[in-house]
């Protein structure tokens, strides 16, 4: 009973953190939208399109890296806890999956590097349209976009784990 109450309290705190993080994500998106709106009235259509594509690609590659790292960790754990009497096929299947995920993760890191390089190009033409403060806002927006996505994914995983633990405790 005490453990269940403690876990429920922890989950409530995590859910409050999730709400606060969602608010931060929304505020950061508003900052990105205001920067995009400023570009709409000053930059060329091509530059505006590059800016928006860059932001979308950054979000996609961050989510891809988070997904792949999670899948890699779960596969590695499955390999580590594989019983010694497991079939050779089962072990080979997990090892193949692990190698494939590792390769995909490395490819995603390469894509992230390309996107980071593209950020320099985006910054170059943003200097024509943005004040120093607006450039600082852009850098903050990009940095926070990645950080908040990572934080949110980690928080969702903690909540999921807590809910699973609570379910297991209440069912026992």
Pseudo-torsion of CA 73, 77, 78, 81, nearest 10°? 180
Residue (of 168, 146, 161, 170) closest to 10 by Cα position: 161
Give pLDDT tens digits along the chain (172 positions).
899 999 999 999 999 999 999 999 999 999 999 999 999 999 999 999 999 999 999 999 999 999 999 999 999 999 999 998 999 999 999 999 999 999 999 999 999 999 999 999 999 999 999 999 999 999 999 999 999 999 999 999 999 999 998 998 888 7
pTM of the model: 0.85
Residue (of 68, 61, 150, 144) closest to 110 by Cα position: 61
CA dist., res. 27 & res. 33, Å (int): 10
CA dist., res. 36 & res. 39, Å (int): 5
Distances (CA, A) of 72 to 10, 75, 141, 161: 27, 5, 29, 18
| Contacts of 21-25 spanning 24+ positions with Cβ under 8 A | 21/148, 21/151, 21/152, 21/155, 22/152, 24/144, 24/148, 25/148, 25/152
CA dist., res. 127 & res. 135, Å (int): 7
Determine the Cα angle at 99 with ends 61 and 75, to 5°.
Answer: 80
Task: Give me the count of residues in the chain.
Answer: 172
Predicted local distance difference test score (pLDDT) of residue 143:
96
CA dist., res. 172 & res. 166, Å (int): 10
Which two tokens mark 91? 């072990």
Predicted local distance difference test score (pLDDT) of residue 140:
98
Where does 43-131 have alpha helices with state H? 45-80, 88-129
Predicted local distance difference test score (pLDDT) of residue 37:
96
Domain count for the chain? 1
Domain hosting residue 22, numbered range: 1-171
């Amino acid at each position: 009973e005490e453990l269940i109450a403690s876990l429920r309290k922890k989950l409530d705190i995590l859910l409050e953190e999730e709400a606060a993080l969602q608010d931060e994500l929304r505020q950061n998106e508003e900052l990105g939208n205001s920067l995009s709106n400023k570009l709409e009235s000053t930059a060329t259509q091509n530059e505006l399109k590059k800016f928006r594509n860059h932001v979308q690609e950054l979000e996609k590659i961050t989510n891809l890296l988070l997904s792949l790292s999670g899948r890699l960790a779960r596969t590695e754990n499955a390999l580590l806890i594989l019983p010694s009497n497991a079939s050779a096929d089962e072990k080979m299947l997990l090892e193949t999956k692990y190698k494939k995920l590792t390769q995909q993760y490395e490819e995603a890191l390469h894509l992230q590097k390309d996107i980071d390089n593209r950020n320099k190009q985006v910054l170059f033409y943003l200097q024509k349209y943005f004040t120093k403060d607006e450039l600082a806002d852009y850098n903050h927006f990009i940095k926070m976009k990645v950080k908040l996505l990572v934080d949110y994914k980690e928080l969702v995983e903690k909540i999921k784990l807590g809910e699973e633990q609570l379910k297991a405790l209440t069912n026992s």
